[in-house]
């Protein structure tokens, strides 16, 4: 099995400066997941199921200052002083690019695939009350 890893970047122009937004490294992505775990209640749908769709994760990041700031700072390599000077629309433009790279449906699908393999290898079962939903099917 081989998977192409491109490490894509996006650029956003902020106050005349071209800002490069990159995917998070593995350790930073794990830190982001730890932050998300602290806010998991925001990932529950009306039936109590965990919704890990890219849209739901993006909404959570945008509505949680710590998550949004972490994602902006880590995906740009900029400092807190730089972020503090941005207007809300500027920060949201950078956050949008970071979310697109870091929480893409394709990347979330890969994570779900790995989680499924681990679940199957350990013989674990997920009850209907704790199922994970997604708007798009993930194929193996």
Domain ranges of the chain: 9-133
Mean pLDDT of 31-43: 74
pLDDT tier at 40, thresholds 50, 70, 90: low
Residue 126: the pLDDT is: 55
Q: How far apart are the first and last CA of the chain?
A: 11
Six token digits for residue 104: 């893409």
**85: how many CB neighbours lie within 10 A of its CB?**
11
Interatomic CA distance for residues 29 and 66, integer angstroms: 14
Residue 21: the pLDDT is: 97
**28, 51 Cβ separation under 8 angstroms:** no
Mean pLDDT of 9-22: 96
Mean pLDDT of 49-65: 74
Residue 129 CB-density burial (10 A; 0-12 exposed, 13-18 middle, 19+ buried): exposed
Statement: residue 14 has pLDDT above 60: yes
Six token digits for residue 27: 């350790």
Model pTM score:
0.65
Chain center to CA of 120: 24
5 or 63, greater pLDDT: 63
Q: Residues near 36 by Cβ (< 8 Å), separated by ≥ 6? A: 43, 57, 60, 61, 67
pLDDT tier at 4, thresholds 50, 70, 90: low
Q: How many helices (H) and strands (E) does the chain have?
A: 6, 4
Q: What average pLDDT does the structure give for the chain?
A: 79
């Amino acid at each position: 099995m081989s998977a192409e890893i491109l490490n894509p970047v996006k650029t956003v122009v902020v106050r005349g400066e071209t800002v490069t937004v990159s995917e998070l490294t593995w350790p930073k992505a794990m830190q982001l997941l730890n932050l998300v775990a602290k806010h998991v209640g925001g990932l529950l749908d009306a039936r109590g199921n965990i919704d890990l769709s890219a849209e739901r994760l993006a909404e959570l990041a945008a509505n949680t200052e710590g998550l949004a700031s972490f994602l902006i700072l880590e995906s740009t390599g900029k400092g807190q002083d730089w972020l503090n000077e941005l207007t809300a629309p500027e920060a949201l433009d950078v956050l949008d690019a970071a979310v697109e790279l870091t929480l893409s449906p394709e990347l979330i699908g890969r994570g779900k695939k790995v989680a499924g393999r681990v679940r199957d290898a350990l013989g674990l079962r997920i009850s209907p009350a704790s199922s994970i939903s997604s708007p798009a099917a993930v194929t193996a």
